[in-house]
């Protein structure tokens, strides 16, 4: 057995042909039980009533479903990048990466926002989250504008980079993707599209808000470009040292920033259900484990190769999410619509892939 097929402790990349669908989600189910139990304990300690305990329990479950619905496209994009990574970095992403995703993005990230926005220390932010959840939530919502501009810009670059690729030879929406591939030879075409989009949306905001939106969007664009450059440098140096190595530290950093961008919307949206940071961390952490399990299943089973338009649906969903993040400072869009929109695009691409497979099998027969 090669290193790439060796099973990982805790559910890593192994031999997908020997594992059932339920086996892929074993650790996600375990974390779900532990997380919901912890949510119940937290509800009892904070309210002291059965109704309050059940309420917190229910919110944790809803947040987990919200995270899963928002992250279908995240799992597909992760799998697309992960399949080209070395076995060592695959394992690191599926272990270190989930720790960073759960604790970094669901706990540390909201705290850092409050630290920066309120100009207080990390411990003070933690105390504020525990003792004054309403004030903590208010600060988080006030920081939504720069977060939406940063995350929306980064995600739009991710989506457009997939379609503006002159080597791309599989097209789902042919009339559109043909044109995008044709113009892909123009250097910086996706950057120009993103900048024009940012300028258009910034014009709908006034005064300081417009300036904050534009500067945050520029930081999102610079972050994408820096991660791409850094990833290329790191991975090329690894290829020099280790023949055939692909997608090492650079790809790992790219996926972590990508996960952070996907998480912005979920973390901010979670405050619509509860102001308790710890309840949010439990609910979104449960959802993150299911995303990890879906990623492993997609890679091991070769689902992306079997369903040729699935990636296209995911990247269209990413572009749609980026536009929604740009619109949110102007008009509130419920997270349910965001999640269902992405899931619908992926579902249509999955159905199109099945139709294409049937048509080609019939032609071959």
- Average pLDDT on 247-261 reads 71
Tell me the helices (H) and strands (E) count for the chain, helix number first: 17, 0
Question: Which helix H or strand E contains 123, and what residues bound it?
Answer: helix 122-131
171-200 pLDDT, tens digit per residue, is 898 888 888 888 888 888 899 999 999 999
- Residue 189's contacts (CB-CB under 8 Å, 6 or more residues apart) are 164, 183
Low-confidence winner among 144-148, 160-164, 218-222 (lowest mean pLDDT): 144-148
* Cβ atoms of 123 and 93 closer than 8 Å: no
pLDDT tens-digit profile of 64-114?
877 776 666 777 777 877 777 777 777 887 778 777 766 677 677 777 777
Count the residues in the chain.
Answer: 365
- pLDDT band at 241, cuts 50/70/90? very low
pLDDT reading at 160 higher than 60: yes
Spatial CA neighbour of 87 closest among 1, 26, 9, 2: 2
At 146, list the tokens.
């720069």
Q: What is the pLDDT of residue 264?
A: 64
CA distance 273 to 280: 9
Mean pLDDT over 268-274 rounds to 66
Mean pLDDT confidence for 159-171: 85
Please determine, for residue 8, whether its predicted confidence score (pLDDT) is greater than 50.
no
- Residue 245 in this model has a pLDDT that exceeds 50: no
Domain ranges of the chain: 20-364
3-state DSSP assignment of residue 315:
helix
Count of CB atoms within 10 A of residue 226's CB?
A: 12
**Rg (Cα) of the chain, in Å, rounded?**
21
Cα separations in angstroms, 212 against 139, 162, 218, 260, 292: 16, 28, 10, 20, 34
Q: Which pairs from 342-347 meet CB under 8 Å and 24+ separation?
A: 342/69, 342/70, 342/72, 342/73, 342/317, 343/69, 343/72, 343/317, 345/73, 345/313, 345/314, 345/316, 345/317, 345/320, 346/72, 346/73, 346/76, 346/310, 346/313, 346/314, 346/317, 347/313
Query: Where in the chain does DSSP place strands (E)?
Result: none
Say how far apart CA 218 and CA 107 lie, in whole Å: 25
Two structure tokens written together for 244? 């055939």
For range 294-313, the mean pLDDT: 81
Indicate the SS3 state at residue 84.
Answer: coil
pLDDT of 4 > 50? The answer is no
Q: Give the per-residue pLDDT at 217.
A: 92
């Amino acid at each position: 057995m090669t290193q790439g097929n060796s099973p990982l402790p805790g559910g890593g990349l192994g031999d997908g042909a020997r594992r059932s669908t339920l086996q892929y989600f074993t650790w996600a189910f375990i974390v779900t039980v532990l997380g919901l139990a912890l949510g119940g304990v937290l509800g009892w300690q904070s309210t002291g009533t059965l109704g309050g305990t059940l309420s917190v329990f229910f919110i944790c479950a809803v947040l987990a479903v919200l995270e899963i619905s928002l992250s279908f496209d995240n799992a597909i994009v992760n799998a697309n990048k992960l399949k080209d990574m070395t076995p060592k970095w695959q394992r690191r992403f599926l272990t270190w990466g989930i720790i960073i995703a759960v604790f970094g993005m669901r706990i540390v990230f909201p705290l850092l926002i409050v630290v920066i926005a309120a100009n207080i220390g990390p411990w003070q932010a933690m105390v504020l989250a525990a003792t004054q959840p309403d004030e903590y939530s208010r600060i988080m919502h006030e920081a939504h504008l720069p977060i939406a501009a940063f995350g929306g810009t980064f995600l739009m670059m991710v989506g457009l980079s997939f379609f503006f690729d002159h080597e791309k030879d599989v097209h789902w929406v042919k009339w559109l993707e043909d044109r995008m591939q044709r113009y892909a030879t123009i250097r910086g075409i996706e950057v120009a599209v993103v900048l024009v989009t940012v300028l258009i949306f910034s014009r709908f905001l006034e005064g300081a808000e417009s300036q904050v939106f534009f500067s945050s969007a520029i930081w999102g664009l610079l972050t994408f470009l820096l991660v791409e450059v850094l990833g290329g440098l790191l991975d090329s140096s690894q290829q020099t040292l280790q023949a055939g190595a692909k997608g090492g530290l650079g790809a790992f950093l790219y996926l972590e920033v990508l996960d952070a961008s996907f998480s912005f919307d979920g973390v901010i949206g979670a405050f619509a259900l509860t102001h308790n940071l710890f309840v949010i961390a439990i609910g979104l952490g449960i959802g993150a484990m299911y995303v990890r399990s879906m990623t492993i299943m997609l890679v091991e089973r070769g689902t992306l190769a079997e369903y040729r338009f699935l990636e296209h649906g995911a990247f269209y969903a990413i572009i749609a999410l980026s536009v929604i993040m740009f619109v949110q400072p102007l008009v509130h869009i419920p997270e349910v619509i965001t999640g269902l929109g992405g899931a619908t695009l992926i579902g249509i691409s999955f159905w199109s892939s099945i139709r294409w497979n049937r048509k080609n099998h019939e032609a071959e027969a």
